[in-house]
Structure formats: C-alpha cells, structure tokens
C-alpha cells in the first residue's frame, strides 16, 4: 500500500493542488471554501464599517436638524465643498450667502459670525461624513471587483447599494434646496425621504452582511416569517412618520400622554380639517403625531405577540432570542419616545430616541433575514473565488 501511495504522489508531482479541496474547520462550518474565507471576512468587515458610518451620519443629521443648522450652507459643491472656509474673508462670504435666505431673515436676524460658525460646522460635518462614506464604499468596492471577489449575486447587490448611495447625495441637496427660497425649514416630505433612504441603505447592508455569514435558515412556522416581515415594514413606516414629526416640529406640541389634544383620540374635525383630506396625513401636526403614536402602539403589540409566538411554538433558540431582543428594544424605544415628548424634545433625549430607532431597525432586519427563505440565494450571494487563485 505504501508503494501505491508513493506512486500516486509521484504521478502528481509538479501539479497544482486545487484549493477548492482544502478546507479549514471554520470554512467547513460556514460552507465557504478556505480560499474564500479571508476575502469573506474582509467584505463583511468593510460592510459593517460602512453601516456604522451611516448610523453615525444619521445621528449627526439629527443633531444638525435639532440645532437648525441644515440650511447654513446654501450651495452644493460636491468636490470643493469638502474644504471649509479657511480665511476671514471666506467666512464672511459664507455668512453673507446665508443672510440671503428666509431662515436668517425670519429666525436668525442679528446672528453673529461666531453663532453662524456653530451651525455651519454641524452642516459641514454632516456633508463631510457623506463624502467619507462615499469614498469608504467606492474604493474598497473597486478593489474587490478588480480582485474578482464578489459573486454575481453579491456584485449586483453591491452595485445597487452604491447607486442608492449616489442617489442619497442628490436627495440630500434636493431636501436642502426646499428651504432656501420660500420656507424657513426644509420640506418634511423631503426630510422623510432623505432619512428613510439612508436607513434603507443601512438595512440593505445589514441584510447583506447577514447573508454573507453563511448561517443556515432558522426553521420556523410560516406565521413567524410573516410577522417578522410585518415588523420590518412597520419599523420603516414608523421611521418615516418620525421624520415627518421632526420636520413639522410636531414633537414640541401636544406634549401630553396618553391623551393628545384633550383625549385618547382627537376629534375628526381636528384630525382632518385640511383639504384634500389626505394632506392631513403629512401636513397636519396633530394628525402626524397621532399617526406616529398609533403606529408605535401597533409596533409594540406586534413585537410582543411575535416574541410570545416564537416562545410558545418552540422555535429555534436564535429565533426566540431574536424575537425577545426585538420586543425589548421596541418597548424601550416607545418608552423613550414618550419621555422625549413629555420633555418637549431636548437634544439629548431626541438623539437617544433616534439611536434606539436604528437599533430597532437592525434587530428587525436580523429577525426577518433569520427567518427568510434562502433557496438558490446563498450560492449567488457568496464571495467568489479570487481570479488570482490557481486551479
């Protein structure tokens, strides 16, 4: 037998050993070949860092809105705008440009240059983060493409995320432009679009990272899958309504709970006094805040029922734990929202409310992805074999 083995080795001398046959224990557990594992970790680490940057940018955007800083830069200069004013003359020019818009004339007349610098730095930091995210996404993405790392399905998803990111930059300026001529603040419609698009990109990245982890689909009743998707959709709806509340400054009025405008349910005449009626859903501060409360209650109820259903149906431990964590954070978010409302939206509570909203979205994506079908998708989404590998 030793002679036969030696003969087989001799015949194979000088041939390239195909890497696809060599697996580490970690690779065997994840279903990813050993030659793919380092690239898989790189791609996941890159995407996680982009998601973290987006979360930070959303919070900086929230602070920019709360400090009424979003209109302090009245021009869109994607390249040269990366540099702030560097001389007293440039600061004066930037301040003079701000003085031409209605917000300065109606809200900030008499503002000093030092006060202007404070709001300028918030908006400049927000835009700078957008540029940093763009470069942090594009440059590694191009390198991965050059190395032939992403599989076909993953490559399409990454291009889609890149396209949405480019669109987000244009939507950001579209939002700012709405407050430069006839308004003293940006349109709440455009603000909500800007926020939801940012969080849609965030959710897409989180979903993609989860798919790259190679975890098997959790076995669960179809009812749990349906409610996990419902929770994700309700979360996005609540995020949109929260942005409308922020854009209308609706959190600074009707600062009572559980009643609103003198009752648990306001009168129809107060909820729908604008015509056409559907405009009340977006423009009426009372209606928008009432919608935000009602969807919040629905989200809490659905999250709790989903968790109870997961526990009672004896689903897998990861599914039960995911449902319990999601329900707990949704309840925390609802409590924080009530406290923020009762205190008339102070900056620290408002930003904490926004941060926990991102946590709710993350856990909702985790749960929906955990229970979603994977037939035919895992092979398409995985990291491909780099073109430089032999064999």
Render pLDDT for 300-354 as a digit per residue (tens, 0 to 9).
999 999 999 999 988 889 999 999 999 999 999 999 999 999 999 999 999 999 9
pLDDT given at position 78:
86
Terminal CA-to-CA distance of the chain, rounded, Å? 29
Neighbours of 33 (CB within 10 A): 20
**pLDDT, the chain, mean:** 87
* pLDDT of 8: 47
Is the pLDDT score of 147 beyond 80? Answer: yes
Say if residue 390's pLDDT is above 50: no
pLDDT of residue 305: 97
Task: Answer yes or no: is pLDDT of 365 > 90.
Answer: yes
Q: What's the average model confidence in pLDDT over 269-286?
A: 94
Mean pLDDT of 72-82: 89
| 383: β partners | 150
What integer pLDDT is reported at residue 11 of this predicted model?
46
Report which of residues 373 and 96 the model is more confident about.
96
Among 68-82, 157-171, 176-190, 215-229, which stretch is predicted with the lowest mean pLDDT? 215-229
Better-scored residue on pLDDT, 386 or 164: 164
What pLDDT score does 79 carry?
Answer: 85
**DSSP class per residue in 131-143:** HHHHHHHHHHHHH
Task: Pick the range with the lowest mean pLDDT from 99-103, 189-193, 350-354, 373-377.
Answer: 373-377
pLDDT of residue 374: 57
Average confidence (pLDDT) over 149-166: 92
Exposed/middle/buried for residue 261 (C-beta within 10 Å: 0-12, 13-18, 19+): middle
Residue pair 69/238 in contact by the 8 Å Cβ criterion: no
Token pair belonging to 145: 């493409």
pTM for the predicted model, two decimal places: 0.86
Please state the rounded mean pLDDT for residues 223-245: 96
Q: Which residue has the tokens 């074999």?
A: 385
- Between 203-217, 226-240, 345-359, the lowest mean confidence (pLDDT) is in 203-217
Nearest to 102 by CA among 74, 132, 126, 82: 74
Angle (CA) 323-215-333 rounded to 5° is 25
- pLDDT tens digits for 42-57? 999 999 999 999 999 9
pLDDT of residue 45: 94
The pLDDT assigned to 39 comes to: 75
pLDDT per position as a tens digit, 80-100: 889 999 999 999 999 999 999
Could you give the residue ranges of the DSSP H alpha helices within the chain? Answer: 2-11, 25-30, 37-66, 88-98, 102-107, 113-147, 152-177, 188-212, 222-248, 268-271, 280-283, 285-312, 317-342, 347-371, 378-381
């Amino acid at each position: 037998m030793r002679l036969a083995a030696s003969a087989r080795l001799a015949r194979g001398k000088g041939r390239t050993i195909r890497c696809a046959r060599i697996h580490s224990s970690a690779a065997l557990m994840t279903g990813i070949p050993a030659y793919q594992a380092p690239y898989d970790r790189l791609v996941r680490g890159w995407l996680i860092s982009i998601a973290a940057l987006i979360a930070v940018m959303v919070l900086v955007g929230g602070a920019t809105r709360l400090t009424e800083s979003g209109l302090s830069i009245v021009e869109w200069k994607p390249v040269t705008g990366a540099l702030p004013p560097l001389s007293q003359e440039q600061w004066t020019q930037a301040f003079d440009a701000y003085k031409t818009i209605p917000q300065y004339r109606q809200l900030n007349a008499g503002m000093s240059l030092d006060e202007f610098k404070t709001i300028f730095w918030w908006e400049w930091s927000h835009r700078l983060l957008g540029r940093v995210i763009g470069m942090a996404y594009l440059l590694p993405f191009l390198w991965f493409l050059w190395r032939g790392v992403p599989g076909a399905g993953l490559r399409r998803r990454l291009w889609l995320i890149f396209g949405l990111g480019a669109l987000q930059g244009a939507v950001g300026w579209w939002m700012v432009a709405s407050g430069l001529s006839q308004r003293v603040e940006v349109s709440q419609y455009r603000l909500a679009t800007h926020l939801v698009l940012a969080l849609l990109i965030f959710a897409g990245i989180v979903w993609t990272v989860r798919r790259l982890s190679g975890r098997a689909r959790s076995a669960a009743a179809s009812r749990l899958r349906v409610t996990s998707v419902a929770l994700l959709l309700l979360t996005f709806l609540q995020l949109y309504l929260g942005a409308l509340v922020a854009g209308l400054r609706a959190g600074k009025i009707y600062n009572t709970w559980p009643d609103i405008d003198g009752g648990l349910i306001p009168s129809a005449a107060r909820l729908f006094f604008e015509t056409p009626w559907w405009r009340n859903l977006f423009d009426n501060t009372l209606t928008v805040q009432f919608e935000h409360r009602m969807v919040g209650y629905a989200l809490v109820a659905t999250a709790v029922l989903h968790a109870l259903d997961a526990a009672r149906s004896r689903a897998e431990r990861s599914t039960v734990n995911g449902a319990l964590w999601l329900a707990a954070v949704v309840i925390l978010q609802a409590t924080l929202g009530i406290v923020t409302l009762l205190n008339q939206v102070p900056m620290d509570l408002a930003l904490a409310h926004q941060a926990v909203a991102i946590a709710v979205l993350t856990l909702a994506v985790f749960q929906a992805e955990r229970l979603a079908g994977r037939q035919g998708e895992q092979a398409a989404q995985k990291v491909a074999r780099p073109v430089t590998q032999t064999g």
